[in-house]
Amino acid sequence: MAQERALLVSARGVDKLRQALASAGFLTIASAASAGEARRAAAQDTWPLVVINAPLPDETGLELAMELTGVTLSAVVLLVRAELMSMVYTPATEAGVLLVGKPVIPQVLQQSVQLAAATHRRLMTLSRENEQLHRKLDEIRLVDRAKCLLIEHARLTEPEAHRAIEKQAMDQRLTRARVAQLILDRYEL
């Protein structure tokens, strides 16, 4: 897990938490003392892991945790007092936040952040796969639009239009998407 990065959001106990994260393999650990600072740090950079030591000076920390899981791909670990776990469990876990009760046992924290880091890596893989599928779907839509224009303007059948796009792509050493875009540029206003 070398080269992992983490954002530690805590108003107190920063040194102990920083040591625990370092022992879990996190080499770059940035700190924020409040939810506002954390939001600014999250807006400026991507963090594979965010550890929030609740409560924070400007809010409980649950709101920040839920917001970060909603708008970033960061894995979020929320440290809360044991007596508050039952109160925050449902909204936190439904938002994808990993909860750890305080007082924190170092081994439990280490396991939790390693689990969160593994979850983040899996989420990043799924995100990349999702982006590839979206690009492929966009390409298919583009080629289909070009085929429709060829059917309409060049009076080709669908298989002929498909073959024409394929052949032009091979002959000109272009992608099917690029050929489709050239056809769209030619026939659309």
Distance, C-alpha 74 to centroid of its chain: 6
Cα angle, residue 12 at apex, residues 50 and 31 outer, rounded to 5°: 40
| Residue 143 identity | V
* pLDDT tens per residue across all 189 residues of the chain: 445 899 999 988 899 899 889 888 888 999 999 999 999 999 999 899 999 999 999 999 999 999 999 999 899 999 999 999 999 999 999 999 999 999 988 888 888 988 888 888 888 899 999 999 999 999 999 999 999 999 999 999 999 999 999 999 999 999 999 999 999 999 886
Instruction: Say if pTM beats, i.e. exceeds, 0.85.
Output: no
- State the DSSP code for 43: H
**Which tokens belong to 137?**
């779907």
Calpha distance 128→41 (Å, rounded): 23
What DSSP line would sit under 94-137, residue for residue? HTTPEEEEESPPHHHHHHHHHHHHHHHHHHHHHHHHHHHHHHHH
**What domains are there in the chain, each with its CATH number?**
4-130 (3.40.50.2300), 131-187 (1.10.10.10)
Phi-psi region of 6 (alpha: psi -120 to 50; beta: other; left: phi over 0): beta
